Structure formats: C-alpha cells, structure tokens
Structure 1
Amino acid sequence: MSKIIVFENPNFGGRSKEFTSSVPNLIKENFNDCISSLRVIGNPWLAYSDVNYRGSQFVYEEGDYATMECNDSFSSLEMVTEDLTNPQITLYEDVNYGGRSIVLTGETNLVHISFQDVASSHKVQKGVWVLYEESNRRGAQMVARASRDLPDYGSFNKKASHVRPLMPGIRSIKAEINWKKKEERVRPVTIDSICGLNQGEQEKSFSNELIKEYEGFITDSFSFSSPTQIPWGMSFSVDVGAMKADKNFSLSETFTVEKGSSNTRTEKKSIRVSLPTKIAPHTKLTVNVVRKEVNTKALVMLTIMRGSQAIVEFGEYRCQSGISITTECKEEKI
C-alpha cells in the first residue's frame, strides 16, 4: 500500500484529501496550489509545480511533513512505483555517457570520491535517485529513474555534489503475540449485594425477581513502542483469538491496529444471573453478585518489511475482560 494525504494548511490542518494513485492534474481534484503539509505512507511520491508531472520537482519519502518549503505550489503528484531495493546508478563525466564513470549503490557525497561537479549524464540500473547541487542533500536537485537514462544534464551539467537513492516504504507488518509469556491478573469484584430476611417458621420467597441482568464487557487495546518506525496511518492485523473466551461476545479474533488511531475497542453485553427462590426459616440470606475481572497483557513482536529489509519492533496487547458473572450465597441463622 502506498498513499499520500495532502492538507490545505500547515500542521495537517484545513481541508485534506487522500490519493492512492498518481494525480496528473490537481486542478480537477480541487486541490491545485493549496498543499501546505502532507503525509506519505509506503513508497515515495514526487510533487510537481505544473500539471502532467512537469515543472519543478520535489521528493517526499514515507513520513510526516508538517511544514513545507514550497507551500501552495503543487499541481500534480506522482507515486513512485519502481523497485527501490538494491539501487544502482552509473554517473558519467561527459554527456552521452562519455569520459570517466563511477557506479554507486548507496548514498554518496561526491566530494569524498573526487567526483564533485563532474557528472553530465547517467544510467540508472535500479531504483530512483536524487542528485543534489550541494553536499548533504542541499541545493537544486534532479531525480534519476530506472529505464530513463539521461545523456545530457543541460543546465545541471557538472553541478552534482551529492547522490542518494530513495528508500522503499514499509510494505507489510506481521504481528505475533507471545502468549507463553503473558501476564494475567484475576480480581473478583462484587457488583451487587441482595439480602433477604426470614424470621418466620415457614420458607419464604427470596425475591420477586428470579433473574437479574448485569453488564459484562471486553476491552482490548494495543500500544506501540516509543519511538516506532511505523508511520501514521499504517495498519496491520493482530490475531487475538486466544483471548476470545466467550463465543457469545462478537469481538473479532482479528484486531486491526492503525498508527494514529486509539487502537482500543470495547464490547458490552447484558448477562443474566439466576437468584435463589426461597429463604429457609429463621435465616438471613445474602446473595453477592461477583464479576471476575481478568487483566491480561502480552508482548507483540512486529516484523516490519521495508523493501527486502526486515526490522523488528515490539508492542503490547492488553485485554480487560469482565464476562464471567456469578452469585455467591451466604446463609446466617437468626
């Protein structure tokens, strides 16, 4: 999944719109020249000052951009679809791929390899690259893409000082709960107490009600480690079927987690409890209604795939369950 969410104001304020495919003309989307912040999820996106992917070009990799140097200046957006793993580019000293050449497979300050202000053409074997006029990713820039060899930089000839490949976004997240090392705490809670008194010689009805209803609940939640590499808006599933102790509750065994959301869900349900019918002679009968509250927490291992690289993080799953409600009866002779 790759998408871009654009906002009218800085700090993700004002109108917003989400795109999951390239947009050649933002005028038709009623969002031309009005983007002041954005979020990218997945692979990088390119923003252009003119429609149909023309004009000045700006690169946005996965992440949040609360402020931007070029507010209100984009007219088209393009999603990067190339394979960004194992990038490789060949830079040439002269136009038409002539003169000295150098092959790069990672980010490089050209000053350090005596190739600053030298390149005039290139061939990209794999990935998408950004060439900068100044060191440390500064100054004017040019994007180089696989299968789009450029024999002549024109006005950018012999100006490149820094080169870097664009990084792939997160393509999948696998969540595994370690149930073997879960922590569980059980606490009985008295939620009601009903007393009946029979001072006579004969059995007596305990109550006009034979059944009472109480509220049971299940709440589960997920929290991320801090910090996490998972970007805002990225979602994944957690299998929590092992916690589903009561089939009468409809909480799905698959818990969908989304970075930036509350990631908490609760279900409540009425549970019926039967009461005693009679009280023995000369007896005080006390019925306590007890709910067993179970609090469980377990570590969740998150395997994050960014391109061909696997990154491991940990989160925490918690479940608070109060679905077991029973009665405890106590008789006292009087």
Structure 2
Amino acid sequence: MEKIVFYEDRDFQGKSYDCKGDSADLQSFIHRCNSVKVEAGWWVLYECNNYMGYQYVIGPGEYNDYRRWMGFNDCVRSCRIIKNAKAPYKLRLFDRPNFDGQSLELTEDMKSIQEKWLRREVQSCKVLEGSWIFFEHPNFCGRQYLLEKGEYRHHSEWGALKPTVGSIKIIIEL
C-alpha cells in the first residue's frame, strides 16, 4: 500500500503527517515540508493546492531536505499517487501541436533529448504506455512534469509554460 510521510523540518524532525492517498490540500496537516519519507509507491508533490504549481516526482526512499527531490522551497501543498508505473513503456513526441510534424518514439530514458531529437522543444505527445517525467534541462534537472497515459495536444496540457524539454525519464515501480 502506498504511503508517504511529510515532515515540517529537515532530517525528519518536527510535526509529521502520514499520507496514504491523494490529497488536494496538505496545509491543514502541515504548514511547510522540509523532508519526506516515501515508504511505498511513486508520488507527485505539488507546490500549490489542488495539484497546481511546480511538480516534484519522487519514489521510494528518504529525502532529508527539500533539495533532495529538487524542490525550489519548502512548499508542498498537495500530492497524489502515480498510477501506471509498470512496463511496458512507450512515448511518442511531436515537434508541433496536435500531433503534427516530425515524431519520435521512445521506450527508454533520455539523458539529453538532443541525442535523438534535433530540437529541445516538444509541442505535443502521446503517452502510449507507462508514466514519464519531462525535465526542463538535460541530465534530469530543472522543472519536472508528470505525464501519464494519454494524449497531450499542447505543452500547456502537461503544465508547462514553454515546450522546452531537456531530458525524459520513465517512472519504474520497484
């Protein structure tokens, strides 16, 4: 069963909250989040209530400081469980909105999208199998965007302000 524990202070100190499912508003349980233990499952943490703002995708493990999950600050206001993190994995990228233009199919992580894609922009995509994370920069750095099975006609549909994608990672359930 999925479970994540949020702590207000670094190194798993201070007030804590055990969460076992999606939560649109964590603020009534904790006021800030400086460390997290993921006991089971993959989760996406959001900077704002109602699954809005910056996204941080984390899997099983201990994160003693918000920078360990590439957080920009100690704001975690909502979270949800990531489903569909099992094989097979297949993703199709398009260089134009609405699945137009050149496309590229992926079945594995890409540390730098420019290895196989001449541009750093992805305008639309189809997640055919599995769940994926788009990172703003190469080497799995920068803003993160969770993409679960489905169609994304425009980069704004996965929450991005710009179509810049530097690297892509599969979410693999252990």
Q: TM-score range by the shorter chain?
A: 0.7 to 0.9
- In 2, are the aligned partners of 1:116 and 1:161 still within 8 Å (CA)? no
- In 1, are the aligned partners of 2:39 and 2:61 still within 8 Å (CA)? yes
Let me know the Cα RMSD of the aligned residues. Answer: 1.5
The secondary structure found in structure 2 opposite 1:4 is strand
Q: Following TM superposition, by how much is the alpha carbon of 1:42 offset from its aligned partner in structure 2, in angstroms?
A: 2.3
Alignment pair present for 1:97 and 2:102: no
Alignment pair present for 1:160 and 2:150: no
Q: What are the equivalent positions in structure 2 for 1:7-22 lying under 5 Å apart?
A: 7-22=7-22
Q: What are the equivalent positions in structure 2 for 1:203-282 lying under 5 Å apart?
A: none
Q: Which one-letter code corresponds to 1:78 in the other structure? A: R
Greater relative CO, 1 or 2 (CA 8 Å, sep 6+): 2
- Corresponding residue for residue 287 of structure 1: none
Q: What are the equivalent positions in structure 2 for 1:1-334 lying under 5 Å apart?
A: 1-28=1-28, 30-32=29-31, 34-69=32-67, 70=71, 71-108=73-110, 109-147=112-150, 149-154=151-156, 155-157=161-163, 159-168=164-173, 306=174
- In 1, are the aligned partners of 2:49 and 2:78 still within 8 Å (CA)? yes
If the length of structure 2 is used for normalisation, what is the TM-score? 0.88
Q: Following TM superposition, by how much is the alpha carbon of 1:129 offset from its aligned partner in structure 2, in angstroms?
A: 0.8
Deviations 1:139-166 (A, max 9, x none): 222221112x211114322x11211111
Structure in which a larger fraction of residues adopt strand: 1
Q: Following TM superposition, by how much is the alpha carbon of 1:124 offset from its aligned partner in structure 2, in angstroms?
A: 0.5
Structure 1 gap segments, 5+ residues each = 169-305, 307-334
Q: Following TM superposition, by how much is the alpha carbon of 1:27 offset from its aligned partner in structure 2, in angstroms?
A: 2.5
The secondary structure found in structure 2 opposite 1:96 is helix
Distance, in Å, in 2 between the alignment partners of 1:6 and 1:141 is: 20
If the length of structure 1 is used for normalisation, what is the TM-score? 0.47
Q: Count matched residues.
A: 165
**Cα–Cα, structure 1 residues 35 and 144, in superposed 2: closer, same or farther, change >3 Å?**
same
Distance, in Å, in 1 between the alignment partners of 2:107 and 2:165 is: 16
Structure in which a larger fraction of residues adopt helix: 2
Distance, in Å, in 1 between the alignment partners of 2:167 and 2:82 is: 21
After TM superposition, the structure 1 stretch with the greater mean CA deviation from structure 2, 66-75 or 5-14, is 66-75
Q: Which one-letter code corresponds to 2:84 in the other structure? A: E
Distance, in Å, in 1 between the alignment partners of 2:127 and 2:83 is: 15
- The structure that has the greater radius of gyration is 1
- In 2, are the aligned partners of 1:115 and 1:161 still within 8 Å (CA)? no
The secondary structure found in structure 2 opposite 1:52 is coil
Identity, % of aligned positions: 22
